[in-house]
Amino acid sequence: MLTALFPRAHARYASLPLLGGVWDGLCIWLRRRGYPASAIRRRIQAGRLLEEWLCERGVRSLRQCTAAELRALAPAPVRWTDHLACALVRSLTDYLEERGELSPSSTTPTDERVAEYRRYLEGVRGLALSTLVREGRRVSDFLRFLEHDARPERLAELKAADVDAFIALAGRRLGRASMQKLTATLRSFLKYLEAGGKTPLGLRAQIDSPRCFRGERLPRSIPWESVRLLLRSVDRSSAKGLRDYAMLLLIATYGLRVSEVAALTLDHVLWRSRQIRVPRPKVGTPLLLPLTDEVATALLDYLRLGRTPSQYRHLFLRVRVPAGPIKATAVSDAFDVWVKRCGIQLVWGAAGPHCLRHSLAVHLLREGTPVKTIGDLLGHRSAESTCVYLRLQIEDLRDVALSLPQAVVLEVRK
């Protein structure tokens, strides 16, 4: 394939000592992932620059590099050639890592400690994968602060002042709600260490959490007419518009989370029974919902006109290379784009597509839907979780206000 891309100059790239032997396989791999010939050609053209970087670092074979070391070669892009070289580094690292042709990364004491803690959380507490990732990230930050890799024995000598110093440092960039989650993670981690005799007793009892009061945040819902305006403003003349409209309509109709939208597959849409089965990892059990005519039409339009044929079974795919299923961030990006284009003014704290879940809950409540039914639709286990979505706004408070007795009105007029 290298010869087809560079009929005259292919020998120039094939003769590179380190990279010359990987070009054909890399080109085929990129082609299968949906990259056009022009994008593949630009990456190969940056090969001579990457070859120079490898030689400067004394690399004699790509097999002696780890994925982290190879990615570290990509500098902060300043010039156009830097951008091309960075794109080549990312693609080459993913290609070699997928084929197992890179040196395995060595695990550090911090990595081992975090892995042990995650296995404990999964096996004993049964936490979901997304929660395990967040907990592991916070514990990693704490261990790096303690310089655990250089001094693993410091956990046995841990003091309350060390924990306070980490919390004070994190408090410079985190709000009260995030700090509350961080301190909960620290207490759980220290409890785990205390049970194994790896840290002094009583440290977790000295960690105090910031106070977050129930109902202190403003309602995150937006008027239902604004939701309808957002959906109408989506330009469905392009593949991206068809995909974004279907994703946003699913959230506005069923109150799905962005992760649930991204996880939908073709098998989850039951066309014959006119149902949609929503996987809900956070709850643990899928939810079976009726497939409305509006949602079915939006999905059919996207599948027929917007979704390119693919080996992936995911319902929503990327519209740009590399081809593949979307991530949850793609749903948030789509929401931000169309909100900006239609000019909706979001209230403070209502940023992101999650506000559509809140808006649906408030809309259903005003339509007379029972709170239990709303909670079941949103995937909540308790009514208390649902009530967070149903905080009343000023208009609702005016409706519940009692009229003054006639005697009081006459007294005020006097």
Which of 99, 125, 146 marks a domain boundary? 99
Q: Dihedrals φ, ψ of 314, to 5°?
A: -65, 145
Examine the domain organization and report whether 93 and 120 are in the same domain.
Answer: no
Examine the domain organization and report whether 165 and 268 are in the same domain.
Answer: no
291 Ramachandran zone, left/alpha/beta (phi>0; psi -120 to 50): beta
CATH number of the CATH domain containing 277: 1.10.443.10
In three-state secondary structure terms, 191 is helix
Residue 289: how many other CB atoms lie within 10 Å? 17
Examine the domain organization and report whether 88 and 10 are in the same domain.
Answer: yes
Examine the domain organization and report whether 327 and 251 are in the same domain.
Answer: yes
Q: Is residue 79 part of a domain?
A: yes
The structure tokens 């239609």 sit at 342
Q: Is residue 409 part of a domain?
A: no
- How many domains in the chain? 3
Q: Is residue 265 part of a domain?
A: yes
Q: Is residue 211 part of a domain?
A: no
Examine the domain organization and report whether 359 and 264 are in the same domain.
Answer: yes
Examine the domain organization and report whether 58 and 82 are in the same domain.
Answer: yes
Q: Is residue 255 part of a domain?
A: yes
Which of 151, 178, 206 marks a domain boundary? 206
Examine the domain organization and report whether 151 and 39 are in the same domain.
Answer: no
Which of 206, 236, 269 marks a domain boundary? 206
Examine the domain organization and report whether 283 and 237 are in the same domain.
Answer: yes
Q: Is residue 212 part of a domain?
A: no
Residue 253's alpha-carbon distances to 12, 246, 364, in angstroms, are 56, 10, 10
The two tokens of residue 295 are 């949602």
Give the pLDDT score at 99.
87
Q: Active-site positions?
A: 257, 282, 354, 357, 380, 389
Examine the domain organization and report whether 229 and 147 are in the same domain.
Answer: no
Q: Is residue 216 part of a domain?
A: no
Residues in the chain, pLDDT under 70: 75-81, 213-219, 282-284, 347-350, 384, 388-414
Query: How many whole angstroms separate alpha carbon 332 and alpha carbon 320?
Result: 16
Q: Is residue 213 part of a domain?
A: no
CATH number of the CATH domain containing 174: 1.10.150
Q: Which domain range does residue 16 map to?
A: 2-99
